[in-house]
Amino acid sequence: MAKKLFIRTYGCQMNVYDSARMADVLAPLGYQPSDSPDDADMVIVNTCHIREHASEKVFSELGRLRDIKQERAGQGQETVLAVAGCVAQAEGEEIIRRAPFVDIVLGPQTYHRLPEMVARASRAGGAVLDTDFPAEPKFDHLPAPQAQGLTAFLSVQEGCDKFCTFCVVPYTRGAEYSRTPEAILDEARALVSQGVREITLLGQNVNGYHGGGLRLGGLMRRLTEIEGVERLRYTTSHPRDMDDELIAAHRDLPQVMPFLHLPVQSGSDRILAAMNRQHTADDYRRIIDRLRAARADIALSSDFIVGFPGESEQDFEDTLKLVEEIGFAQAYSFKYSPRPGTPASGMAGQLSEEVKEERLARLQAALQVQSARFNESCVGRTFDVVLDRPGRRDGQLIGRSPYMQSVFVTAPATMMNSVQRLTITAAHSNSLGAVLAEEKACA
């Protein structure tokens, strides 16, 4: 009999990808996806350590799931409860101690062993903990991915050796590891054969990719040789790894979308050095100049941290200056938040919440002006948009523009999961409104 699997995913696209692959691994055991934990035979909480108060939030979620598990047990039904992802990796023992009703705790590198863990948990009782960084890469043990729709993620690289002083990723995801080009090309072919047209290459440091003698630009060239790969994106990149070949890929490969998420974190060289980012603000400016020379219409996105230990008003103003000079189409900005075990958490000069909040508000106001300006510049333009989600209103579909904006359009439901030419008619703060290009032509 089919069993129900509910996965709650927090965090980045890597976690979204990992959740989909965990579902693939469990499918042969009879687990089918479910929309709710209430009637699920197995619940996985795929956690993210980047969130503020990440572990406390996981424990309160687990409290709610314990109630569901107990209620189901009262009706004679078993619920396997698993905690996966970066919080599980960092705090596995603590989870088992504080939440003994959890059956399985697994890190991001061991989910290919889930079937074995499920068997061990139901056979032996008691919690199964598997937070190894195993020698055998999990990718070699995963079944072919099950694609849904026209877009898919494909993980090419994992882990990070850069050790930015604020970041937990090198500790939770482990050392940098690149998959072989052959494995990646095979997975891309499998996705295309299931109807996928747009692939987003994933990695914590995706442009640090180095597999089989290829860097990311070379890998993308090979991917575009696969018939059916119509669009390529990649995330998340580090400025230090934006090499000439990757920049040339933006110039030469029409399949590479004109959008790049390239986190800079700060515009102050002093803070960038304290963050161990290993580049200066001018290095970043030069990379952007080269990218724009290669692809004039490229739209840029970034991550920023305000209130890093020791950040002065002048350092913060250097960040505002960089924002003003570059012009971002969109961006994510965060207040610095100390992560246990990272070097920055013990640095002198920790700033007050008030200062962090005030700077975040100023930065976000500046970024908001830029994204509104960028959205307005799209009005009247016509784009090919992959429509892949229903809108909130009846008869409405949503897709992504080449520049990653959400685009809303009134369109028949039969156009779901298709690429349509849309003319942009309205710019909102975080999205665009559009009409089908043919409609516009007939009007």
Judged by the rule CB under 6 A, the positions of this chain that interact with ligand SF4 are: 160, 162-164, 167, 169-170, 204-205, 238
420, interface contact from ligand SF4, ligand SAM, none, CB < 5-8 Å by kind: none
| CB closer to ligand SF4 out of 12 and 185 | 12
Q: Residue 163's binding partner, choosing from ligand SAM, ligand SF4, none, with beta-carbon cut-off 5 to 8 A by kind? A: ligand SF4
- Alpha helices of 78-155 — where are they, by DSSP H? 85-98, 114-124
Residue 215 CB, shortest distance to ligand SF4, in Å, is 16
CB of 325 to ligand SF4, least distance (A): 22
Residue 336 touches which of ligand SAM, ligand SF4, none (Cβ within 5-8 Å per kind): ligand SAM
Paired sense of beta strands 214-215 and 231-235, if any = unpaired
Q: Which does residue 55 bind out of ligand SAM, ligand SF4, none, counting CB within 5 to 8 angstroms by kind?
A: none
Which entry of ligand SAM, ligand SF4, none binds 334, CB below 5 to 8 A by partner kind? ligand SAM
How near is the Cβ of 301 to ligand SAM at its closest, in Å? 11
Closest CA to 21 of 119, 170, 154: 154
- 12 is in the binding site of which of ligand SF4, ligand SAM, none (Cβ under 5 to 8 A by kind)? ligand SAM
Give the separation between CA 362 and CA 366, rounded to whole angstroms: 6
| Burial readout 173-187 (b: 16 or more C-beta within 10 A, e: otherwise) | bbebbbbebebbbeb
Query: Residue 170 binds which one of ligand SF4, ligand SAM, none, with CB within 5 to 8 A depending on kind?
Result: ligand SF4
Helix, strand or coil, per DSSP, at residue 42:
strand
Name the binder of 339 from ligand SAM, ligand SF4, none, CB < 5-8 A by kind.
Answer: ligand SAM
Q: Which is nearer to ligand SAM, 345 or 418 (CB)?
A: 345
Specify the residue, 235 or 401, whose C-beta has the smaller distance to ligand SAM. 235
Q: Is 136 exposed, middle or buried (0-12, 13-18, 19+ CB in 10 A)?
A: exposed
Report how far Cα 119 is from the mean position of its chain's Cα atoms: 30
Q: Which residues contact 318 (CB under 8 A, 6 or more apart)?
A: 266, 267, 268, 269, 281
Cβ proximity to ligand SAM, 50 vs 385, nearer residue: 50
Q: Which does 303 bind (CB under 5 to 8 A by kind): ligand SF4, ligand SAM, none?
A: ligand SAM
- Nearest to ligand SF4 of 34, 266 (CB atom): 266
Which residue number, 238 or 359, has a Cβ lying nearer to ligand SAM? 238
Q: Give CA–CA dist 434/302, Å, rounded.
A: 26
CB 162 within 8 A of CB 278: yes
**C-alpha count within 13 angstroms, C-beta hemisphere, residue 188:** 30
User: Whose CA is closest to 140, among 155, 128, 152, 129?
Assistant: 155
Report the partner that residue 46 touches, choosing among ligand SAM, ligand SF4, none (CB closer than 5 to 8 A by kind).
Answer: none
Q: Applying CB under 6 A, which residues contact ligand SAM?
A: 12, 50, 166-167, 169, 204-205, 236, 238, 263, 265, 303, 305, 334, 336-337, 339
| In the complex, least distance from residue 396 CB atom to ligand SF4, rounded to whole angstroms | 36
Q: Which is nearer to ligand SF4, 158 or 388 (CB)?
A: 158
**What single letter denotes the amino acid at residue 47?**
T
The nearer residue to ligand SAM, 34 or 333, going by C-beta atoms, is 333
Q: How far apart are CA 332 and CA 303, in angstroms?
A: 5
CB of 376 to ligand SAM, least distance (A): 27
Q: What is the nearest approach in angstroms of ligand SAM to the Cβ of residue 238?
A: 5
Q: How far is the CB of 272 from ligand SF4 (least distance, A)?
A: 11
CA gap 397, 347 in Å, rounded: 48
Q: Closest Cα partner for 385 from 236, 238, 230, 235?
A: 230
> Which CB atom, from 164 or from 306, has the smaller least distance to ligand SF4?
164
Task: Give the tokens for residue 76.
Answer: 């004679």
For residue 352, the minimal CB distance to ligand SAM (Å) is 15
Query: Which of ligand SAM, ligand SF4, none does residue 50 bind (CB under 5 to 8 Å by kind)?
Result: ligand SAM
What minimum distance in Å lies between the beta carbon of 184 and ligand SF4?
A: 20
In terms of CB distance, is 305 or 409 closer to ligand SAM?
305
Cβ proximity to ligand SAM, 254 vs 332, nearer residue: 332
Q: What is the dihedral of CA 262, 266, 267, 268, to 10 degrees?
A: -140
Beta-carbon contacts of residue 118 (< 8 Å; ≥ 6 apart)? 26, 29, 42, 80, 104
| Residue 437 Cα to chain centre, angstroms | 31
Q: Helix (H, G, I), strand (E, B), or coil: what is residue 427?
A: strand
Distance of closest approach, residue 318 Cβ to ligand SAM, in angstroms: 17
Of 98, 11, 92, the C-alpha closest to 46 is 11
CB of 306 to ligand SF4, least distance (A): 15
